[in-house]
Structure formats: structure tokens, C-alpha cells
Amino acid sequence: MTTTSSSFIDRSSAILSHLEETGQLKHLQMIESPMGPRISIRGRGEVDCFCSNNYLGLANHPDVVEAGIEGLRKYGAGTSSVRFICGTFAPHEALEERIASFLGVEASYTFVSCWNATEATFPTLCQDGDVIVSDELNHACIIDSMRLTTAIHRGVSKVIYKHSDMESLREALVSATEKRSDDGTIFVITDGVFSMEGDIALLPEIRSLCNEFGAILVVDDSHGTGVMGETGRGTHEHYGMAGSDIDIFTGTLGKALGGGAGGYVAGKREAVELLIQRGRPTLFSNALPVTVACSAKAAIDTLDANPSLVQKLRDNVAEARKGIGEVGFEVLESPTAICPIIVGETATAISMSNKLLDMGVFAIGFGYPVVPEGTARIRVQISAAHETEHIDRLCSALSQLKNAT
């Protein structure tokens, strides 16, 4: 019989006890309904949901759901293989062509998550002598991909620049130029929309600096695709840029585009093909479930046929930001669907989140280590599926919290 080390159990128990004592222990909420503006939580009943990435309300859209059901009927529950053996189905090809055309780039390739897609990108595309330049507030998947890359390729360097500070980026690019080998490549990676701040990358300025220094621009637009730009193409469209202005995109199918699961890399054909040939997450892990591929393609088709969804989201964001401000809370400025209310300490954010849930409003508190210490926040996320009545209840609950402090 195998026994678990008592020191490991004691250590783990001590960490969990500390989290509970300091009010930082997270509790999973069991949802018993489809995702939407109003959901049912076990033991609580119906609540207004303001913490979902379902930005366009497509997670339970009938066309998206039906496409997934039809895919399940036609192709079964699983792929039972990696892509290069026998795990590539016709819907994978159709989705990847659709993603590429939607973004206006040469090619795309799907993974089971954007984390996987990002994890594949730098370890596959980088070689010794290359340098990765990254915004200090980039998503955790980018940070871990860089860590993995520098562990695999000891000759790859990384340089971090201050958040959205173009002078700092210039300095980082000067440093990267000095660090790279004669035949090395500089990659600049940034979120399009920053998930905790809700602000957007200065893509035109970053593109200009990449051109000046001969760097490859990589944009993770997971929170921007479907949200930013007149037709929801993403952060680049918000700035009037073409998809081809971005060398490589990473993104998700698990947020605005139906919320099922899955991620992708899109951009230059050579980069995508190299990931197909050498990317370990696709070579050694099952393909994206076909039913998800079918739903995701239907979500893109639905967005293209209903661009008013993007305007509805934008109107809802403006209404929510106005209401939250009138209540007396400070919301970080941004044009995105993410509305962070800074409250200070992690325990405060979690306590406020719990009180909101008691009032029938589901919005999550985030603290350290997800965000820097002292900047804990309630992250309110708006959807095109919200109506004025939902936003009014959010603001009413926040007002009660404000008056109680």
C-alpha cells in the first residue's frame, strides 16, 4: 500500500488553513443552468451573473448550441487521437479557415485551450539567440510560456517592459537587440485587452516599434476578440489596423466566441505550419472536441450576421460604468467589457464578492497573487445579453455595499 508523505499533507494543510484564516480561500460555486445574464447556483437559486466571459451572450445561443449538438451526432463525443495521427476532422479545417478569414490572416490552428496554444508558441518558434519582450501585466499563460521556453532553450532571453509604457518598450527593444544573436529573432508579446485591468494595448505604437527594431509582434487577444472593433474582430480593429498588421495572434474560443473551450494560433502561414509540425501540446494531446469546433464556427458566423451584438455590448458597458460611478465606486477607465473596482486588500475583495452574492449579484473578487498586493478588486464583466434590469440590480447591490462601509 502506498502512503502519502505526512510532511506534504501537513504543508498543504497549513497553506489551506492560512488562506481560510486570512479570508482568501476560494469556494467553487455549482451552476445548475446554462450560462447567461441570469443563472442558477446550487443552494442560492437565481442570481445576476457579472463574472462571465460570455461577452456576446453566445454561450447559450440556439444556433451555437444546435451546431454543437449536430456535430456531436455526426462525429461523436471525442477525437480519440492527436491531430497528426487520426484526430483531424472536417470541422477542424472549417473552423480554422473561418478563424483565419475572420481575423484577416493567412492561417490558423486550434488547440484545446488558449493556454495550450500559448504554451506551444514560444517553445516551438524560438531558438537559441532569440529574445522575448513582454509587458509586465501579460496573462499568466504568456508568463509560463516564457518560463518554459527559457528552460528548454537556455540561449533564449527575456526582457520585461513596464505596462503599456512605450519608452520602457523602446528600452527593452534596445536591450533585446544587444542580447540576441546575429541571426536571432526578437518577439514582442502583449495582451490585446488586459484581463485584470481591462485596458488595451497601444497596438499602433507597438507595431511601429516592432517595425523599427525588426521584431515579430504577437498579440493574445483572448478578451478582445468578439469585443473590440466595430465588427468584433478584436483590438487591432479597434485601432483601424488590419489583421495582417499582427504577425501572430493567440486567442480563445472560450470567451466571446461561444465560451465552449479551445484556443488558436493565427497569422503567418509558416509560423502556423511550424506549430503543426513541432508544437508539443498538439503532438502529444488530443485534438479539440469536434462538437466544440462546430459550436465555435457557428458563434463566429452568428457574430458576423449580427454585428449589432457588439454595439449592444458597448451600450451596456457605458450604462454599467456610469451606474457604478454614480454609486461612488472608482472603475478603471477602459473601452472594454471588463470593469475593475479597486478595493485594496484581497480579503476585502473576497468579502465584498460574498456579500454581493448574498444580494443576488455574482461578481468575483480578485487579489494576490492574481493581481499585485494592495490592488485587489471586484472584476465586473458586462455582456451583450445583459438588460437594463440586470445592470440596475448590480448598481443597487453596490450602493448597499457602499452605504454599509
> Which residues are identified as catalytic?
195, 223, 255
What strands lie across the sheet with 361-362, from one edge to the other? 38-41, 45-49, 361-362
C-alpha cell at 363: 461578481
C-alpha cell at 308: 449589432
DSSP line for 207-225: HHHHHHHTPEEEEE-TTTT
Amino acid identity, position 239: Y
Whether residue 396 contacts residue 327, with contact meaning beta carbons closer than 8 Å, is answered with no
Q: How far apart (Å, rounded) are the C-alpha atoms in residues 92 and 377?
A: 38
Residue 199's H or E segment, with its range, is none
Residue 2's H or E segment, with its range, is none
Q: What phi, psi does 110 have (nearest 5°)?
A: -100, 155
Q: How far apart (Å, rounded) are the C-alpha atoms in residues 5 and 8?
A: 5
Q: How far apart (Å, rounded) are the C-alpha atoms in residues 391 and 50?
A: 9
Length of the chain in residues, anyone?
405
Amino acid identity, position 319: E
Q: Helix axis angle, 290-305 relative to 90-103, nearest 10°? A: 30
Q: How far apart (Å, rounded) are the C-alpha atoms in residues 64 and 78?
A: 18
β-strands 45-49, 38-41 pairing:
antiparallel
Residue 358's H or E segment, with its range, is helix 346-358
